[in-house]
């Protein structure tokens, strides 16, 4: 049985190759260029404790350098002060974002359930408005529907960085919110009025992303401490002193910062040497 060899042109032609082996042919399936991303940008990562600690470390380093401003130049001190202000602002933003994420996770379930309640109440009231017979009943139901709409926006646009106060504490919600003889909510939180005003002004998103009412904790004010400079010591004449005496003199300078006169050092060295008694003693032991 004769075996026919394929030519180079036939081997490169993808039509003569089985479909399962076409990926082996070079340039048979070139990569398509990536399409540009048209969607919204990805949300920022949550601020972690490690990033906050890193910013605090930078602030400590810059503060230490500023405390040694008498060593560095004035231009370097100005740059460090600018960097310190930038790091403090960055730390304040990180702390605010940390509080925001904490509040979101803390009140997530409460906001969810109250949003469901407010949606059901608003749906019932709108249905009653359409079924109203008299004008007086219709106007009263419209007021109730407006109140329920504010309640719904309260659950949606309450400031995320602030403590969420419940709209429906236990025992305050009536059995039938659409009943005209009952109040929907007798007591409302203070921010409820701000939500109603934001609905009229069209600033609900701004209210939702409002910063925390707590004051931002800033770092302690910088207090520059000046180191005490050692007084300059006048040189001492060490001529005529041996090596041991010079060492003793240097030790005295390091410990007390005071020099001893050279004459005192010489006298001290002479006092340490034994003195022979040349006076004659009449009652000597070896006298003959």
pLDDT 10s digits, 16-67: 777 777 767 766 665 666 666 666 665 555 556 568 888 999 999 989 888 8
In a domain, 84, yes or no: yes
Residues 119 and 163 in one domain: yes
Residues 118 and 94 in one domain: no
Residues 127 and 182 in one domain: yes
Domains in the chain: how many in total?
2
* 58, 89, 105 - which closes a domain: 105
The predicted pLDDT at position 7 comes to 53
Residues 75 and 155 in one domain: no
HSE (side-chain half, CA atoms, 13 Å) at 286: 1
CA distance linking residue 107 with residue 117, whole number of Å:
16
152, 115 in Cβ contact below 8 A? yes
Residues 118 and 188 in one domain: yes
Residues 116 and 59 in one domain: no
Least confident residue range of 43-57, 134-148, 191-205: 43-57
In a domain, 39, yes or no: no
Q: How many residues does the chain have?
A: 288
* 89, 105, 121 - which closes a domain: 105
**Average pLDDT of the residues in 228-245:** 68
Q: How confident is the model at residue 96 (pLDDT cuts 50, 70, 90)?
A: confident
Supply the pTM of this predicted model: 0.52
Residues 204 and 178 in one domain: yes
The Cβ of residue 53 has, within 10 Å, a number of other Cβ atoms equal to 10
**Domain assignment of residue 121, given as a range:** 108-208
Residues 99 and 154 in one domain: no
In a domain, 218, yes or no: no
Q: How confident is the model at residue 156 (pLDDT cuts 50, 70, 90)?
A: very high
* 152, 185, 208 - which closes a domain: 208
In a domain, 134, yes or no: yes
Residues 6 or more apart whose CB falls under 8 angstroms from that of 17 comprise: 24, 25
In a domain, 151, yes or no: yes
Residues 169 and 202 in one domain: yes
In a domain, 248, yes or no: no
In a domain, 163, yes or no: yes
Residues 139 and 159 in one domain: yes
Residues 136 and 65 in one domain: no
H helices, E strands: number in the chain: 9, 0
HSE (side-chain half, CA atoms, 13 Å) at 16: 9
Residues 95 and 166 in one domain: no
The predicted pLDDT at position 227 comes to 54
Q: How confident is the model at residue 99 (pLDDT cuts 50, 70, 90)?
A: confident
The H or E element containing residue 256 is helix 243-256
């Amino acid at each position: 049985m004769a075996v026919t060899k394929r030519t180079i042109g036939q081997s490169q032609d993808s039509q003569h190759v089985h479909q399962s082996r076409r990926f082996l042919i070079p340039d048979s399936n070139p990569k398509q260029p990536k399409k540009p991303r048209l969607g919204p940008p990805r949300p920022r990562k949550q601020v972690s404790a490690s990033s906050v600690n890193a910013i605090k470390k930078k602030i400590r380093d810059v503060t230490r350098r500023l405390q040694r401003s008498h060593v560095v130049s004035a231009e370097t001190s100005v740059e460090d002060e600018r960097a310190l202000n930038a790091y403090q602002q960055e730390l304040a933003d990180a702390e605010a974002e940390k509080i925001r994420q904490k509040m979101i996770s803390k009140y997530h379930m409460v906001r969810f359930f109250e949003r469901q309640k407010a949606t059901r109440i608003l749906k019932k009231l709108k249905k009653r408005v359409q079924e109203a017979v008299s004008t007086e009943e219709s106007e009263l139901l419209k007021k109730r529907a407006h109140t329920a709409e504010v309640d719904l926006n309260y659950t949606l646009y309450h400031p995320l960085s602030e403590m969420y106060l419940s709209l429906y504490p236990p025992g305050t919600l009536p059995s039938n919110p659409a009943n005209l003889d009952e109040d929907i909510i007798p007591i409302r939180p203070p921010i409820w009025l701000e939500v109603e005003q934001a609905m009229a002004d069209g600033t609900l998103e701004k209210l939702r992303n409002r910063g925390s009412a707590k004051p931002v904790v800033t770092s302690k004010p910088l207090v520059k401490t000046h180191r005490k400079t050692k007084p300059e010591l006048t040189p001492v004449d060490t001529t005529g002193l041996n090596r041991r005496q010079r060492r003793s003199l240097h030790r005295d300078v390091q410990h007390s910062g005071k020099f001893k006169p050279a004459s005192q050092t010489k006298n001290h060295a002479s006092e340490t040497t034994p003195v022979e008694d040349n006076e004659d003693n009449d009652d000597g032991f070896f006298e003959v």
